[in-house]
Structure 1
């Protein structure tokens, strides 16, 4: 049986990253926005904040869902969520891009499917609304 879902959600741990980049809110936001584009997503907006004495949190809202990050520069660590839906976006491309951008020497990542067609009751041969226009919204 073919398994289809509305989206893919990567939950990633980035270790041993470049500490300076993880504390630079402008750099982090730009790389997260770039990652959305690399994934094939359409950016709606973004919001990022730098904490004192250090750390950055932010979100890039995309038509296909969202990309989020929380950094702990003092540990060289970032927690990253990459949630995309539709058949034209690929969260793994964003993952690979960000791994390089933040200089992560180690990563741990788990992929979850979101919105399993069978669990929702969507017929497997139903066209996904994201196929039309590349967005998840109706």
Structure 2
């Protein structure tokens, strides 16, 4: 396992080319976000979902280990995902990768950061996710 701070790991992912209907369905996104959290080993404490007018959704899942969230822009086919977890037992990348299998973007870009060790350190810079990871 890559060395990380005791305070946590933070993964930010931008996903493009995602289906409008999925990005506008807060109920389905909330279910998948909870599944993603559980697959990563996290403990779900609560969740909230909001649909915006005329479109878009935000889902926030509060974890014992921190949080996972998604903010969507269906008209652009775009979703911004974010997962921050404390300690070593939960891997936020597992949650983000699960959401990629759900969203099936045509492009995705990630940033993996180490938190709590002074300045935020990017341990994996923004790069396109390989096509094999993005299910089409």
> Could you state the TM-score of these two structures normalised by the residue count of structure 1?
0.80
Q: SS of the residue aligned with 2:98? A: helix
Task: For CA contacts below 8 A with separation 6 or more, give which structure has more relative contact order.
Answer: 1
- RMSD of aligned Cα (Å): 1.5
Aligned twin of 2:60: 59
CA distance in 1, matches of 2:41, 2:63: 10
Aligned twin of 2:18: 17
Aligned twin of 2:132: none
Query: Can you list the C-alpha shifts for 1:84-116, whole angstroms capped at 9, x where unaligned?
Result: 112110011111100110111211010111112
Aligned twin of 1:37: 38
Aligned twin of 1:109: 110
CA distance in 1, matches of 2:68, 2:97: 14
Query: Can you list the C-alpha shifts for 1:30-66, whole angstroms capped at 9, x where unaligned?
Result: 1111110011100010011001111001200001000
Aligned twin of 1:78: 79
Q: How many residues align?
A: 117
Q: Which has the larger radius of gyration?
A: 1
Aligned twin of 1:90: 91
Aligned twin of 1:122: none
Q: SS of the residue aligned with 2:53? A: coil
> Could you state the TM-score of these two structures normalised by the residue count of structure 2?
0.81
Structure 1's consecutive aligned runs of 4 or more residues displaced over 4 angstroms after TM superposition are none
Query: Can you list the C-alpha shifts for 1:5-33, whole angstroms capped at 9, x where unaligned?
Result: 31000111001012111101111101111
Q: SS of the residue aligned with 1:104? A: coil
Deviation at 1:75, TM superposition (A): 0.9
Consecutive unaligned residues of structure 1, counting only runs of 5 or more, are 120-138
